[in-house]
């Protein structure tokens, strides 16, 4: 089945306004502290780039990245996740913020939280642009959420369908192409 980009779910202006609010909240919560912001490749890249620039300079921000993948779709519900690229730097005794584009089943984040907690951070919080609560399997609490969304397949602003459409400036839904 082929898919095409359908309606706009969240346009550029709403994204920008919400990212600014999240940045403000993070600036207040981490005022005067050092914060390691960890982006989960690849979906979080666009959101993270905007989010870190929305954090005031009263927070000493540094950036690191992790790349993870589940062992294929059939085993995704097992929550077994493989680390393809680990962090470059230690998070021991650091305040850490994981940045995601979307929480769906929550399995990726529950694995990541477990793995990163074992490394002894001072604190570990999670920020996700989108939260698709209907699909949740793992019990994971997200500290900063941009938007709650319904169970639609979404692309744009970092989110992909088979690696396409990450570069779209808004968040769109995707629908099957109806062939004549």
Question: ∠ CA(168), CA(152), CA(160), 5° rounding?
Answer: 35
Least distance from ligand PRP to the Cβ atom of residue 57, Å: 28
Catalytic member of 95, 101, 104, 131: 104
Nearest to 147 by CA among 98, 109, 102: 102
Please identify, using beta-carbon distances, which residue of 40 and 91 lies nearer to ligand PRP: 40
| Residue 117, CA distances (Å) to 42, 59, 81, 101, 172 in order | 22, 22, 16, 21, 34
Please identify, using beta-carbon distances, which residue of 12 and 160 lies nearer to ligand PRP: 160
Residues of the shown chain interacting with Mn ion in the complex, contacts defined by CB under 5 A: 43
Residues of the shown chain interacting with ligand PRP in the complex, contacts defined by CB under 6 A: 40, 42-43, 69, 100-108, 160
**Contact present, 149 and 9 (Cβ < 8 Å):** yes
Among all residues, whose Cβ is closest to Mg ion? Answer: 160
* Residue 168 binding target from Mg ion, ligand PRP, Mn ion, none, CB below 5 to 8 Å by type: none
Please identify, using beta-carbon distances, which residue of 50 and 160 lies nearer to Mg ion: 160
- Confirm whether 104 is a catalytic residue: yes
Assign 3-class secondary structure to 119-161: CCCCEEEEEEEEECHHHCCCCCCCCEEEEECCCCCEEECCECE
Distance CA 108, CA 69 (A): 8
Among all residues, whose Cβ is closest to ligand PRP? Answer: 43
For Mg ion, the binding residues in 146-165 under the rule CB under 5 A are: 160
Residue window 17-36: x/- pattern of binding to Mg ion, with contact defined by CB under 5 A: --------------------
Least distance from ligand PRP to the Cβ atom of residue 163, Å: 8
- E-assigned strands of the chain? 3-10, 34-41, 60-70, 81-85, 95-103, 123-131, 144-148, 154-155, 171-176
Please identify, using beta-carbon distances, which residue of 18 and 76 lies nearer to Mg ion: 76
Least distance from ligand PRP to the Cβ atom of residue 44, Å: 7
Residue 98: count other Cβ atoms within 10 Å of its Cβ: 23
Using CB under 5 A as the criterion, which residues of the chain lie in contact with Mg ion when the complex forms?
160
Q: Which residues are catalytic?
A: 104
């Amino acid at each position: 089945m082929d898919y095409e980009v359908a309606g706009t779910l969240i346009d550029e202006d709403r994204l920008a306004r919400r990212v600014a609010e999240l940045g403000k909240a993070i600036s207040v919560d981490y005022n005067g502290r050092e914060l390691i912001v960890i982006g989960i490749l690849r979906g979080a890249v666009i959101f993270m780039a905007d989010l870190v620039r929305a954090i005031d300079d009263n927070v000493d921000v540094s950036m690191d990245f992790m790349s993870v993948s589940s062992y294929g779709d059939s085993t995704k519900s097992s929550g077994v996740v493989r680390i393809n690229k680990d962090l470059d730097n230690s998070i021991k005794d650091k305040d850490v913020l994981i940045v995601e584009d979307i929480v769906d089943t929550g399995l990726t984040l529950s694995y990541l939280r477990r793995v990163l907690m074992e490394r002894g951070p001072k604190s570990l919080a999670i920020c996700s642009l989108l939260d698709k609560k209907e699909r949740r399997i793992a019990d994971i609490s997200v500290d900063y959420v941009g938007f709650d969304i319904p169970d639609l397949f979404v692309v744009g602003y970092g989110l992909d369908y088979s690696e396409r459409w990450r570069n779209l400036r808004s968040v769109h839904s995707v629908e099957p192409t109806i062939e004549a």
